[in-house]
Structure 1
Amino acid sequence: MTADRSEGAGDGSRSAVFPAAHTVIYEGPAIGGDSVRSQFVWGSKGPVVQTQNPERISLGLEAIAGTVAHTLEGLPAIGLTEEDRRNAEEAGAEVLGEAAQNEPDRSRIQRALSVLKGVLAPAATGLAAGSAEGTQEWARTAIEQLSVPFS
């Protein structure tokens, strides 16, 4: 305790005065401080097993892999047919799979990107049924980003 919270016995000596102890009981998880990259399990009835197998993206393919991942996340919102969506997802998965190889086949990546851009083209031009203005802009931007040369 600091000196201003001390009491003396009248003889110049000082002793600290501590507040009464209290107990806090939380009915759930209590998080104090930074919890970035933390994971919590609450109410689990058995063991919790988590594995992570992060894919290492080959040098020079990080940007295109990120663009493909972002594009795949947005596919459900643009109203593709089931077949077009499946083709786009397969092409995107091929790009990401190749990008994670030690020696990726860049021609396979380029072919898969062409398929992905081809699936997005009708939405970008407004030819796809129900293409809203926001959808057209999103698809055009995706095609532009998927067209950026990679090393």
Structure 2
Amino acid sequence: MGKGFEINKQAIRKMSREIEREFAKNPVRVPLEADASGVTFPAGPITNNYHGPVVTVHGDNAQLAWDNQTANQTQNQDIAPGYEELAKLITGLLASLPALGLSGDDEHEAKATAESVLGEVVKDEPDQGRIKRGITMLRGLLAPIATGVGVTVSGEAAELSKTLIEGLGSTLPF
């Protein structure tokens, strides 16, 4: 009997390097204009992945999209009563993270903390202590932007941070 099919890992690494070089030569540029007069948040975070498989996992639920032109993946989870506004605000915060101008580590920490809070509000009985700690952490990460401490803080980012901090303090159901 034959050995069967084996994945050529070296060829995959080589192909990945060549693709990275090609994208480095031809970067995608999109001009943006911001209007902060009516700051609204999208329904949820949107991720566009153009070059690879997409795997979405929430708890025991997993979705996989691979080698297709368009994939629309949604997962609906029930939010604990009274936590709807907080969940909406945290989802908006996640969608706005790139615009806030946080450092890499702070942005990663904010994302992890926000996802932790969202994971808590979909439970039957959310742990109020974990939610309070998460909100305190998020407010602490947003405070330097709201006060304009960072060198690259824009007026829009400062205003958005202030709005998020006020919202985080006023949406607690307890």
1:73-84 alignment, distance < 5 Å: 73-84=95-106
Q: 1:96 and 2:118 equivalent? A: yes
Equivalent in 150, 154, 160 of residue 132 of structure 1: 154
- The offset of 1:53, in angstroms, is 3.2
Counterpart position of 2:45:
none
Counterpart position of 1:57:
79
Q: Please identify which structure carries the higher helix content.
A: 2
CA distance in 2, matches of 1:82, 1:61: 29
Counterpart position of 1:150:
173
Q: State the TM-score, normalized to the length of structure 1.
A: 0.65
Partner amino acid, structure 2, of 1:119:
L
1:2-151 alignment, distance < 5 Å: 52-148=74-170, 149-151=172-174
CA distance in 2, matches of 1:95, 1:136: 23
The range that moved more, 93-102 or 52-61, is 52-61
Q: Sequence identity, in percent?
A: 33
- The offset of 1:89, in angstroms, is 0.4
- Mind listing any 5+ residue stretches in structure 2 that lack a counterpart? 1-66
- Mind listing any 5+ residue stretches in structure 1 that lack a counterpart? 1-44
Larger Rg: 1
Partner amino acid, structure 1, of 2:123:
Q
- The offset of 1:129, in angstroms, is 2.2
Aligned residue for 1:57, secondary structure, equals coil
- The offset of 1:113, in angstroms, is 0.7
Q: Give the number of aligned pairs.
A: 106
Q: State the TM-score, normalized to the length of structure 2.
A: 0.57
Aligned residue for 1:86, secondary structure, equals helix
Counterpart position of 2:10:
none
Aligned residue for 1:147, secondary structure, equals helix
Counterpart position of 1:34:
none
